Amino acid sequence: MLMNIIESIKQRRSIRTYTGEPLNAAHKAQIQEFINQLKAPFGVKARIEMLSIQPDKEPVKLGTYGWIKGAVDYLALVFEEALFAETAAAYMFEQVVLFCTSLGLGTCWLGGSFSRKDFKKQLSLKPNESLRIVSPVGYPNDKKRLFEKIVVNAEHNHSTRKHFSTLFFHNQFDKPLTQTTAGVYYLPLEMVRLAPSANNKQEWRAVLQDEQTIHFYKKTYINFDSIDIGIALCHFELTCRELGIEGKYVHLEDFPKTDLFQYVISWKGQDSPAETLHPLQ
């Protein structure tokens, strides 16, 4: 099934209340097929497992501390500890989230509000593997709980999202990027602006340099900064692919410096000036 990335990014919402109906066989098969063909970027080893609560059989407990109601099926993100592992694994997981969105299904990133003990019982983790993220996946219940309405309004009111010019810059951090100066990268960066992040912090930044080079940064904060930038990088590259913009992520030695954010990686467009690149392994 072909997925419209831009539309899926725009439509994705964090769904916390579900109908209680298990995924039908067709949806399960589509999701599993999509997962099977995925690989985490940057050489990282990661996998996504589908888990289900089956109350009519052996009781299975998958606790989410009341944040999720009515969910039967879940996605669990497992990865091997390594350089850039969380970021690459989050990139991979967001692809599945967007695919599920394209199927009309609900999801919700959970990083801290779930019982790792319960989920680990259903997974076979190797000593060097971590369970970092889970998400329910299922059919949204139109009757949202009051607390969900409050949280959702805070998370998804686009008017509360940071403005494009406060997130993205031209050449240096003292010069905001505009739609005109962003050129072909305006829409990919706009899809980054719409990316979910912990508590809607949006603590990533990007600097466009020489029209074909974009440097990505993050603010370091507890638990989720590496995950948030992984989602942002996913939105950017998948949107570029959909628009036919060619390029790749590389690690560079020369980039605009700032004391406020940590450099992560750069995007080099196909028409970038020839130079020695240092791909992140």
Q: Kindly report the CATH number assigned to the domain that includes residue 259.
A: 3.40.109.30
The pair of structure tokens assigned to 200 is 């809607």
Query: Is residue 21 located within the same domain as residue 139?
Result: yes
Q: By residue range, what is the domain housing residue 59?
A: 5-148
> So what's the pLDDT on residue 274?
40
Query: Is residue 137 located within the same domain as residue 171?
Result: no
Residue 153 domain flag: no
What mean pLDDT is reported for the chain?
88
Query: Is residue 95 located within the same domain as residue 177?
Result: no
Q: Is 226 helix (H, G, I), strand (E, B) or coil?
A: helix
| Ranges assigned E (strand) in 165-246 | 168-170, 204-209, 213-218
Cβ-count burial 237-273 (b if 16+ within 10 Å, e if not): bbbbebeebebebbbbeebeebeebebbbbbbbeebe
Does the structure show a pLDDT above 70 at 91? yes
- With cut-offs at 50, 70 and 90, classify the pLDDT of residue 277: very low
Instruction: Tell me which residue of 242, 245, 237, 162 sits closest to 205, measured CA to CA.
Output: 162
Single out the residue in 148, 172, 202 at which a domain terminates: 148
Query: Is residue 143 located within the same domain as residue 176?
Result: no
Does the structure show a pLDDT above 70 at 193? yes
Single out the residue in 115, 148, 181 at which a domain terminates: 148
Query: Is residue 227 located within the same domain as residue 137?
Result: no
Residue written as token pair 């998400």: 135
- The number of domains in the chain is 2
Query: Is residue 69 located within the same domain as residue 98?
Result: yes
Query: Is residue 107 located within the same domain as residue 141?
Result: yes
Does the structure show a pLDDT above 60 at 151? no
Residue 281 domain flag: no
Single out the residue in 111, 128, 148 at which a domain terminates: 148
